[in-house]
């Protein structure tokens, strides 16, 4: 059974983070102060080039593994044009997707109310005169 893309992505990211942490551990040589210094040097604006070489290698390997895992799960990975061209045709033809306000345009016959009468309101009611309801004194 094919897993959802979000599940595949979550497992990919988790393994990438774990691999990066292991690479930082290895780069510090087991010295806690060095590892702490390396961890504190990473922040939101850190670029790929700012990372230690072992972490860069780990990320590159994780990216390759991510593409491989997506392909194994049956997802298409590639440039947008190539993926769209190889996509199979839909079994159900596309339908007209107009909003609810455009439904009036589909009416081909007058409907239950009958054709509009000249000078009258839709539905046969008349617009002039006092309002219906309780009589005024």
Over 60: is that where the pLDDT of 105 sits?
A: no
133 domain residue, yes or no? no
Read off the DSSP letter of residue 35.
H
91 domain residue, yes or no? no
86 domain residue, yes or no? no
Half-sphere exposure of 99 (CA within 13 A, CB side): 1
pLDDT of residue 70: 85
pLDDT of residue 113: 64
Average pLDDT over residues 21-46: 85
Coil, helix or strand at residue 106: helix
Q: Which segment, 14-23, 71-80, 122-131, is predicted with the most confidence on average?
A: 14-23
For the chain, helix (H) and strand (E) counts, in that order, are 4, 0
pLDDT of residue 37: 86
82 domain residue, yes or no? no
Instruction: Give per-residue pLDDT as tens, 52-62.
Output: 888 889 889 98
52 domain residue, yes or no? yes
Length of the chain: 137
Nearest C-alpha neighbor of 20 from the set 59, 47, 52: 59
Report the chain's terminal Cα–Cα distance, integer Å: 77
Which range marks the domain in which residue 19 is found? 5-75
Q: Are 59 and 51 in contact (CB under 8 A)?
A: yes
Residue 34, class by beta-carbon neighbours within 10 Å (0-12 exposed, 13-18 middle, 19+ buried)?
middle
Average pLDDT over residues 21-44: 85
62 domain residue, yes or no? yes
90 domain residue, yes or no? no
Mean pLDDT of the chain: 76
Average pLDDT over residues 105-123: 60
Query: Domains in the chain: how many in total?
Result: 1
105 domain residue, yes or no? no
pLDDT of residue 106: 55
- Whether pTM > 0.85 for this model: the answer is no
């Amino acid at each position: 059974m094919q897993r959802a893309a979000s599940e595949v992505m979550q497992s990919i990211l988790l393994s990438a983070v774990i691999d990066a942490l292991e690479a930082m551990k290895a780069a510090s040589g087991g010295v806690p102060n060095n590892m702490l210094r390396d961890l504190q040097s990473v922040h939101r604006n850190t670029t790929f080039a700012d990372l230690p070489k072992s972490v860069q290698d780990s990320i590159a390997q994780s990216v390759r593994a991510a593409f491989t895992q997506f392909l194994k799960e049956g997802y298409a990975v590639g440039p947008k044009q190539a993926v769209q061209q190889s996509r199979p045709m839909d079994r159900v033809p596309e339908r007209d997707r107009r909003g609810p306000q455009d439904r009036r345009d589909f009416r081909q016959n007058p409907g239950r109310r009958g054709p509009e009468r000249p000078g009258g309101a839709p539905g046969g009611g008349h617009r002039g005169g006092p309002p219906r309801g309780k009589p005024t004194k």
